[in-house]
């Protein structure tokens, strides 16, 4: 079992760190939010007052932060962790960030002989709680093999997508598709309901038909159709619209750089931006359902 520092205990990082404790690791946590730290202490983790203190003596550091600027602020610069970690400390960043940001952190780590892996995840808060996340890793083969037993404490499918940044590329492709599927699912449900159909009945029909997809099958956006999903608790918790917009922005920027046409992704980005601009940024992304049915708010 490893001595692990876990930094970033939000909707995803909290349950991920708790699963590492359950798996028998010695976990020290840090977050800017005291409440998040207290919750992990109750789950059996130790805590520290700074990221650097949490990482003291750790064999492995894992971060789960909102966006690229947070990852850079934790790792880079004179006060950043990479300047202070001993050589050989395994560093895993599971945040969803731009591939080039991940490559920049990897380069800074390489300069200090610190193995780094970008390892963004898929599976949502439900997957994080159940310990069945998909990890999509970018980095050297040796680093991947070293990280895999630790990632298995939090996930079920652990993929090696390629070199540094590849995990992030695969992740932003996946999330662009997820945004398109969630918007499409919401649109179809709203059309059926406007025609008098029961959303639960329509959902079951589409699940067993060619329209079945992850958003419909396990994350139904219509309130009350499925237990335990954000739609059934007023779109609280889950994966925030603001974070989905961040990921759609990453996909858009990447598409421009690579001359890759993404008309569906661009439309989804516009829809979610409009939705955020209407005051929904802090709701789960399945709240895009409300965009189609504002009268049902």
Q: State the nearest-atom distance from the C-beta of 1 to ligand NAD, in Å.
A: 24
Among 10, 15, 131, 265, contact with ligand NAD (rule: CB under 6 A) = 10
Q: Assess 16 for contact with ligand NAD (CB under 6 A).
A: no
| Coil, helix or strand at residue 15 | helix
Name 254's bridge partners.
none
Among 6, 135, 222, 239, contact with ligand NAD (rule: CB under 6 A) = 239
Tell me which residue has tokens 């059926």: 192
- Cβ-closest position to ligand NAD: 10
Residue with Cβ nearer ligand NAD (66 or 281): 66
Among 6, 8, 15, 119, contact with ligand NAD (rule: CB under 6 A) = 8
Per annotation, catalytic residue among 129, 171, 194, 257: 171
Q: State the nearest-atom distance from the C-beta of 34 to ligand NAD, in Å.
A: 10
Residue with Cβ nearer ligand NAD (202 or 241): 241
Q: Assess 95 for contact with ligand NAD (CB under 6 A).
A: yes
Active site residue 171: yes
Terminal CA-CA length for the chain: 48
Residue with Cβ nearer ligand NAD (50 or 145): 50
The DSSP call for residue 195 is T
Between CA 96 and CA 118 the distance in angstroms is 9
Token couple for 5? 């520092």
Q: State the nearest-atom distance from the C-beta of 38 to ligand NAD, in Å.
A: 12
Between CA 19 and CA 29 the distance in angstroms is 13
Cα separations in angstroms, 272 against 36, 182, 256, 292: 28, 10, 19, 12
Q: Assess 33 for contact with ligand NAD (CB under 6 A).
A: yes
Cα separations in angstroms, 62 against 8, 69, 196: 9, 16, 49
Q: Assess 118 for contact with ligand NAD (CB under 6 A).
A: no
Token couple for 88? 């050989």
Between CA 14 and CA 131 the distance in angstroms is 12
Among 4, 7, 150, 241, contact with ligand NAD (rule: CB under 6 A) = 7
Q: Which among 239, 9, 277, 210 has a CA at the least distance from the CA of 127?
A: 239
Residues 50 to 79: which contact ligand NAD by CB under 6 A?
51, 64-66, 70, 73-74
Name 63's bridge partners.
7, 93
Give the binding site for ligand NAD (CB under 6 A): 7-13, 30-33, 36, 51, 64-66, 70, 73-74, 95-96, 121-122, 124-125, 238-239, 243, 247
């Amino acid at each position: 079992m490893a001595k692990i520092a876990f930094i970033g205990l939000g909707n995803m990082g909290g349950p991920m760190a708790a699963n590492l404790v359950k798996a028998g690791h010695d976990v020290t946590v840090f977050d800017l939010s005291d409440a998040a730290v207290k919750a992990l202490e109750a789950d059996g983790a130790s805590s520290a007052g700074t990221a650097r203190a949490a990482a003291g003596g750790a064999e492995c550091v894992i971060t789960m932060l909102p966006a690229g600027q947070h990852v850079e602020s934790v790792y880079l610069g004179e006060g950043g962790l990479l300047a202070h970690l001993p050589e050989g400390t395994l560093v895993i960043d599971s945040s969803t960030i731009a591939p080039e940001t991940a490559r920049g952190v990897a380069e800074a780590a390489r300069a200090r002989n610190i193995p780094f892996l970008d390892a963004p995840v898929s599976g949502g808060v439900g997957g994080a709680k159940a310990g069945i996340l998909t990890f999509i890793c970018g980095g050297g083969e040796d680093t991947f093999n070293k990280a895999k037993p630790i990632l298995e404490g939090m996930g079920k499918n652990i993929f090696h997508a390629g070199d540094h940044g590849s995990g992030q590329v695969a992740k932003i492709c996946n999330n662009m598709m997820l945004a398109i599927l969630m918007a499409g699912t919401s649109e179809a449900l709203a059309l059926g309901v406007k025609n008098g159909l029961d959303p639960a009945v329509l959902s079951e029909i589409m699940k067993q038909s060619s329209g079945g997809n992850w958003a419909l099958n396990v994350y139904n956006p219509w309130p009350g159709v499925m237990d335990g999903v954000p739609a059934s608790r007023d779109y609280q918790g889950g994966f925030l619209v603001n974070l989905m917009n961040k990921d759609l922005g990453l996909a858009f920027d990447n598409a421009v750089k690579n001359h890759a046409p993404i008309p569906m992704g661009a439309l989804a980005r516009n829809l979610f931006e409009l939705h955020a601009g209407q005051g929904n940024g802090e709701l789960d992304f399945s709240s895009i359902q409300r965009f189609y049915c504002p009268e049902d708010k």
